[in-house]
Amino acid sequence: MSQDRERVVIIGGGVIAISSAYYLAKAGYQVTLLERNRFGSGCSESNCGFICPSHILPLCEPGARAKTLKTMLQKDSPFRVNPFVGPPLWGWMLRFMQRCRYDYMIEAAKARHALLESSMRLYHDLMNESVIDCEWKSKGLLFVFKSDKAMDDYIKTNDLIEDQFGLGAKPYDSKALAELEPSLKPGLAGGWLHEHDAHLRPDLLMSSWRASCEALGVEVIENCEAQSFTIESGKIVAVETSTGSVPASKVLLATGALAPKLAKMLGRDLYIQPGKGYSITTSRPDPCPEIPMIFVEHSVAATPFDDRYRLGSTMEFTGYDDRINRKRLGLLERGASHYLKQALGDTVHQEWCGWRPMAYNGIPTISQSKSVSNAFIAAGHSMLGVSMAPATGKLISEIITGDTPHIAADPYG
C-alpha cells in the first residue's frame, strides 16, 4: 500500500486524537501525535466518562435563548458567560442563538445520533478486542429530578427522543427511585433511566488506548506545540513546532477547544469556543451511587468508579482561562447535596477544570480542509467527545484513506 510510507501527523493529545491515531494506524499509516502538554491533560481524562447516546439533542433548542438569559441572571447558576471576552465569543453566541429552532435542533440531533450509535458499537468492539480497558459499565444513566414540574417537563423531551430515535427512558416515581438508588435522599420527585447509556473511567480509557496505539507503532510526542505549517504547492510538508520541524504527508487537527487557532492558518473559520467545566474526584462516599446520574435542576453529574467517584458540572464561556474558580468548584458539592445522602467521599484525589470544545451548532467538524488538500480537522465535540470518539476516529481515517465512510460524512463538513 502506498500509504504505508505516508506519515500522518495528528496535532492534539485528547480522546479524538488517540481514536484517530488508532484507526489510521490500523489502516496502515505511520502516525505521529503531537501534544503541547501531557497526553490526555486537555479535556479528555478528567471528565464524567458518560457514554451517552441519550444526549442526542444539542444545547441549541427552541427556548434555549430565554433559558440561557434566565440562568445567566440566577445566582450560583452552573452556566456563566463573560461577554467581555470579545468578538469571537459574540460571533459564536449570535450563531448559537440563530440555531435555536426546531428544524436545526433535529438536524443536529440526527448528526449526533449517527456518531453516538456508531461509537457505542465500536466501543464494544474495542473492548472485545482488548484494545481498551477502562472500567466500562453498562448501567445506564439516571436523570434525577427534585421537583414534580421538572420531572413532568421531561416527558416532552423523552417523547421526542423516543419517537424520533427510539431512545426513550424509563420513568421511576419517588418511591421506585429511592429503591433503585439507595444513595439518593428520600422525597425526590423521581427519575428517568436511560438504560442504553454506559460509563467508563476516562483516564484509563486514555492510557490503555495510548498503549494499544503505541503497540501499533504510533509515536506520541509530549510537550511539543504545533505553531505553524510549512506549505508548498497548496500542501503542508511540515508542521513547525516548539521543538522543531516535523515532516508530514497529511495533517489532522484534533486540538479540541483550541482548534480555531490552527484552522485559521489553513484558511478555515471554526466556530468553537471553550466551555469550561469542573470536576472533583474523591474516594467513594458511603453510600455511593451505583448508577451514574445527572441532577437535572442543578446540572451536576455524578459518576462512580471502582475505587473513585466524581462530580462534574458547570459551563463557563469565559475565553481561554484555565484557572480553577473555587466558588464555581463549590457548586458541584452544593448541587449534589440536594439529591445525595453523601455528596462527596472523604479523600479528595483531584480538582480539575477543562475546556469543552463547544461547537455553536452542536455538530462536530470532521472533514478535509478545502484550501489545503492534505489537512483534515476533527474537533468541536462539545459535551460528548468521549461518547463520539470511536466513530469520529474511524470516520476521519476513512476520509483520509479515501475509503467508503461507515456513516455519512456530509453532516460534519
**Residues at the site binding ligand FAD, with contacts judged by CB under 6 A:** 11-17, 34-37, 41-44, 47-50, 225-226, 254-258, 262, 277-279, 312, 354, 356-357, 379, 381, 383-387
Quote the CA–CA distance of 252 and 268 in Å, as a whole number. Answer: 14
CB of 135 to ligand FAD, least distance (A): 14
- The smaller minimum CB distance to ligand FAD, of residues 178 and 274, is found at 274
Quote the CA–CA distance of 17 and 262 in Å, as a whole number. Answer: 15
**In the chain, what are the helix, strand and coil shares in percent, each to the nearest 5?**
35, 25, 35
CB of 354 to ligand FAD, least distance (A): 4
Q: How many CB atoms lie within 10 A of CB 230?
A: 14
CB of 266 to ligand FAD, least distance (A): 13
Map residue 170 onto helix, strand or coil: strand
- Locate all alpha helices (DSSP H) within 216-301, ordered by sequence: 259-265
- Locate all alpha helices (DSSP H) within 184-231, ordered by sequence: 202-215
- The smaller minimum CB distance to ligand FAD, of residues 178 and 252, is found at 252
- For the chain, state the CA radius of gyration: 21
CB of 172 to ligand FAD, least distance (A): 21
Locus of grid cell 490526555: 40
Burial 284-298 (b: 16+ CB within 10 A, else e): bbeebbebbbbbbbb
Map residue 273 onto helix, strand or coil: strand
C-alpha torsion sign, points 393, 399, 405, 409:
positive
- The smaller minimum CB distance to ligand FAD, of residues 48 and 400, is found at 48
- The smaller minimum CB distance to ligand FAD, of residues 85 and 189, is found at 85
**Residue 375 contacts residue 102 (beta carbons within 8 Å):** no
DSSP state, 293? E
**Residue 411 contacts residue 359 (beta carbons within 8 Å):** no
- The smaller minimum CB distance to ligand FAD, of residues 4 and 322, is found at 322
- Nearest CA among 48, 50, 40, 37 for reference residue 16: 40
- The smaller minimum CB distance to ligand FAD, of residues 176 and 237, is found at 237
CB of 203 to ligand FAD, least distance (A): 12
CB of 149 to ligand FAD, least distance (A): 26
Quote the CA–CA distance of 303 and 292 in Å, as a whole number. Answer: 5
Quote the CA–CA distance of 387 and 391 in Å, as a whole number. Answer: 9
Map residue 26 onto helix, strand or coil: helix
Question: Which residues, including other chains, have CB under 8 Å from residue 104's CB and lie 6 or more apart?
Answer: 60, 361
- The smaller minimum CB distance to ligand FAD, of residues 100 and 262, is found at 262
- The smaller minimum CB distance to ligand FAD, of residues 168 and 390, is found at 390
CB of 317 to ligand FAD, least distance (A): 13
- The smaller minimum CB distance to ligand FAD, of residues 11 and 25, is found at 11
- The smaller minimum CB distance to ligand FAD, of residues 156 and 323, is found at 323
- The smaller minimum CB distance to ligand FAD, of residues 189 and 372, is found at 372
- Locate all alpha helices (DSSP H) within 129-274, ordered by sequence: 148-165, 174-180, 202-215, 259-265
- Locate all alpha helices (DSSP H) within 270-380, ordered by sequence: 326-336
CB of 364 to ligand FAD, least distance (A): 8
CB of 187 to ligand FAD, least distance (A): 27
Locus of grid cell 481561554: 320
CB of 174 to ligand FAD, least distance (A): 26
CB of 396 to ligand FAD, least distance (A): 12
